[in-house]
Amino acid sequence: MTRGPREEGRVARQRYGLKGRWLALAALSGLLLASGMQARYDSTVDYFGDRNVFVSLPSGKTLKILSFGYRNLAADLLFIWSIQFYSTYHIANRFDFLERVYEAITDITPQYREPYIIGSLIMVHEAKDVPMALRLLEKGSRHNPAEWLFDHDAGFYSYKYLKDFPRAERYYNRAAAKPGAPEFIRRIKAHMVYLSDDPQTAARMYLDIYRNARSTLERDSAFNHLYQIKAEADLPQLKAKIAEYRQNFGRLPRALSELARAGLVREVPRDFAGNEYVYDPQTGTVTAQRIFRWKKR
């Protein structure tokens, strides 16, 4: 007995409907099985626990060749990946590859500024490796001879974390010599000389800044340093003369002017502002009217 077109359609729909239900059941079973396996795996793995990884990265020269002319794109992608990688704090050995990664990025595009700056920040503040950061910044300075920022940052890290004031001075010296370097670098350079216990040289540098200042901030900063440097030179001498006066006359001077009348000093020194130093005749102590704490290590 032959079936009509309507009957054939009904049978086909039943057949394919049954097949669809079996496929849906199979898919649902697969999902349940996968979710169960994933739940079991998740229960045994601490996703945020410390772990080690291995990063295999070709040299920058090789990556430059493999970029097929798209060097900037390759450097951008690697730089973005590096920021994400070094923001993944549960990778315990991520700093093992730090210098290698930023060497590669800066080899691909040596004039790319941001990897030098961000890379050195990670090296100093995350990896606690200042010498590594200085190597990267020196590379940036070599490949970007007109850029003052790399030498400035290297000077700051040498001053702040290594307490190596002569080295910081050399970096600031290089930064100040670059075209377009801001004026404040000259003040920082003079401050490094001051911290290196060379007050005479620092005073000459600050006096030049003071006389040629182009802003109130620049002039005031130079004035404050000159005030402190002069006070540091004058006060020990005054204290020694007060002690000598007491030994000679059996009492403390009633005023600093008595030191001159006694012939112990030709003229009583004044501070850089032209004011007398503060003297206490009861205790014999002499101090400056203004006190700065710039030599705090």
Burial 217-241 (b: 16+ CB within 10 A, else e): ebeebbbbbbbbbbbeebbeebeeb
pLDDT greater at residue 4 or residue 228: 228
Name the pTM for this structure: 0.68
pLDDT greater at residue 175 or residue 91: 175
CA contacts within 13 A on the Cβ side of 236? 5
User: Does the pLDDT value for residue 148 go beyond 90?
Assistant: yes
Contact present, 236 and 220 (Cβ < 8 Å): no
| Residue ranges per structural domain of the chain | 51-180, 235-287
User: Does the pLDDT value for residue 271 go beyond 90?
Assistant: yes
Q: Average pLDDT of 144-151? A: 95
Query: What is the rounded CA–CA span in Å between residue 160 and residue 175?
Result: 17
Residue 297: its pLDDT value, please?
Answer: 46
Contact present, 156 and 256 (Cβ < 8 Å): no
Residue 152: its pLDDT value, please?
Answer: 95
Residue 111: its pLDDT value, please?
Answer: 93
Residue 150: its pLDDT value, please?
Answer: 96
Q: Average pLDDT of 58-75? A: 78
Query: What is the rounded CA–CA span in Å between residue 94 and residue 52?
Result: 8
CA dihedral for 105, 89, 94, 41, sign (positive or negative) = negative
Q: Average pLDDT of 236-248? A: 95
Q: Which two tokens stand for residue 148?
A: 């003052």
Contact present, 141 and 133 (Cβ < 8 Å): no
pLDDT greater at residue 142 or residue 73: 142
10-55 per-position pLDDT tens digit = 555 555 556 666 766 776 677 677 666 756 655 665 544 555 665 6
When the pLDDT of each residue in the chain is averaged and rounded to a whole number, the result is 85
pLDDT band for position 195 (50/70/90)?
confident
Q: Average pLDDT of 154-170? A: 93
Q: For the domain with range 51-180, which CATH number is right: 3.40.1410.10, 3.40.50.620, 1.25.40.10, 3.40.50.10480? A: 1.25.40.10
Query: What is the rounded CA–CA span in Å between residue 169 and residue 193?
Result: 7
Residue 65: its pLDDT value, please?
Answer: 73
User: Does the pLDDT value for residue 295 go beyond 60?
Assistant: no
